[in-house]
Amino acid sequence: YTLKVVELESEFIYHQNSKDRLRVIIADMYRKLNAYGQCSVALDEANTLHLKVNVNLPEPPEIMLHQVPVPCIAELVSSLMFTESDLCLRAILPHINGVNSVFRISQLARVELWMVCVAVRHLYYYRLVTLVDVFQYGNEYRVLREGLQALFIKYEHEKNSAQMSKMLSYVGVVSKPPPSVEEVIALYCMFPGKTAGQLDTYVQTRGINVTTRRLVAFGVINGILKRIHTYVVLRDPSKPLEGARLCSLPAKVQQMVKEGSHCYDEYCSILLMPRTAVDNLFAKCPEICLIRR
């Protein structure tokens, strides 16, 4: 439509001078649309063509209160704080640091939990954040063969690439030399059968310049690691809750126990307890069994 109007008003394609520029304009549009997904091209002194590629992104998942939003861009806070974003987003952005869970962000920002979930869901939809589990030293992970193979193949073909250097600097210790790719791959191979705390002890004793929290986050985000969760399940769901321990829990937690589809992370977030305390809470409840998967 814009080209039609320009042609009617100024005979843009009819005149040879402007017609010769059309090839350069189309090439510039092609390059910018592929690189940035949008472009603005000046046709003449009075007309500018604005184009944007609209991508149908998949529907984002429901945000769980124990999940941790991790910024996909380093300047997330500075890039959105001074735009026309809503008040809720402005309140929670400073607390999105890859460590705080959705529940913790709600507390720190003093914003209703459901509003935080909606805001994080929007950020996830536009690929501004990704989601990982709450990091605890008692967490266990299994290695995904496809993800580890992809990392190894990338290392074989792109040893000195900027992307590989960025990965090493991310998982490394600040103000210290980054680890080698061989060390990172070897650490990922050690995850089966070990908790994050045990691996962290190994890293500390060997003097490897790796931050265990960031190593785990990078592995989960890039499909190298998958968390092994512990679920609380009633042995006989048809029976009502019994025992002083279970009956003394908040009503919401009792409902979670009855449903049997909630992992330890959710209990830790709601009860504001570490994993060891949740272990002690359910350890002496004979009507409950723990399933790890």
* Mean pLDDT in residue range 9-21: 71
Q: What is the pLDDT, as a whole number, of residue 43?
A: 73
Q: Looking at the predicted structure, is the pLDDT value of residue 83 above 60?
A: no
- More confident site: 3 or 144: 144
**Rounded mean pLDDT of the chain?**
84
Name the CA radius of gyration of the chain, rounded: 26
Residue-wise pLDDT tens digits, 193-210: 899 999 999 999 999 999
DSSP assignment of the chain: -HHHHHHHHH-TTTSHHHHHHHHHHHHHHHHHHHHHSEEEEE-SSS-EEEEE----PPPPPPPPTT-EEEESSTTHHHHHHTSS--HHHHHHGGG-SSSS-HHHHHHHHT--HHHHHHHHHHHHHTTSEEEEPPP-TT-EEEE-HHHHHHHHHHHHH-TT-HHHHHHHHHHB-TTSPPPPHHHHHHHHHT-TT-BHHHHHHHHHHHT--B-HHHHHHHHHHTTSEEEE-EEEEES-TTSPP-SHHHHTS-HHHHHHHHH---BHHHHHHHHT--HHHHHHHHHT-TTEEEEE-
Question: CA-CA distance, 125 to 220, in Å (whole number)?
Answer: 18
Phi and psi torsions of 172, nearest 5°: -80, 175
When pLDDT is cut at 50, 70 and 90, the band that residue 79 belongs to is: low
- More confident site: 103 or 236: 103
Q: What is the pLDDT, as a whole number, of residue 277?
A: 86
Q: Looking at the predicted structure, is the pLDDT value of residue 263 above 70?
A: yes
Distances (CA, A) of 147 to 3, 118, 163, 240: 47, 30, 16, 43
- More confident site: 236 or 141: 141
Q: What is the pLDDT, as a whole number, of residue 76?
A: 64
Residue-wise pLDDT tens digits, 68-77: 999 887 666 6
| Site of tokens 């999105």 | 96
Q: Which residue in 109, 105, 100, 108 sits closest to 133, CA to CA?
A: 100
* Mean pLDDT in residue range 135-145: 90
Q: Looking at the predicted structure, is the pLDDT value of residue 143 above 80?
A: yes
Q: Looking at the predicted structure, is the pLDDT value of residue 241 above 80?
A: no
Taking each helix axis from N to C terminus, what angle separates 264-271 and 102-109, rounded to the nearest 10 degrees? 20
Strands 68-71 and 140-143: unpaired
When pLDDT is cut at 50, 70 and 90, the band that residue 81 belongs to is: low
Residue-wise pLDDT tens digits, 102-127: 999 999 999 999 999 999 999 999 88
Q: What is the pLDDT, as a whole number, of residue 85?
A: 65
Q: What is the pLDDT, as a whole number, of residue 252?
A: 84
The answer to whether 71 and 132 have CB atoms below 8 angstroms apart is no
